[in-house]
Amino acid sequence: MQKTNKVVSQKTPFLLYIVPTGDPICIDTNADDKIIYLNHDNHFERVHMNESLFKFALPATIWAVYEVDYRLFG
């Protein structure tokens, strides 16, 4: 019987933003690129925020378009 040593690589989450409370918002490359934040009060525990960057960014994009439209056209 042949033994194999599997090494599971832990990739570092990709940093998107750090909120004013100090928690980094990241893309978790270990979990299908889900959006997480790292809770700095709890030893940087990964906390799920959203399933994808698209779903996470969509409300902010809609709000930004609304703001530009409102400022230009009242």
The verdict on residue 26 lying in a domain is: yes
Is the pLDDT at 72 greater than 60? The verdict is yes
Average pLDDT value for the chain: 83
The secondary structure of residue 42, as a DSSP letter, is G
Q: Which residue has the higher pLDDT, 46 or 4?
A: 46
* Residue 4 pLDDT level (bands cut at 50, 70, 90): low
Residue 35 has pLDDT above 70, yes or no: yes
Task: Residue 14: name the closest of 4, 6, 25, 23 by CA.
Answer: 25
Answer whether residue 1 is part of any domain. no
pLDDT classification of 47: cutoffs 50, 70, 90? very high
> Quick one: pLDDT at residue 3?
60
In-domain check, residue 68: yes
Residue 65 belongs to domain spanning: 14-73
DSSP 8-state secondary structure symbol assigned to residue 63 = H
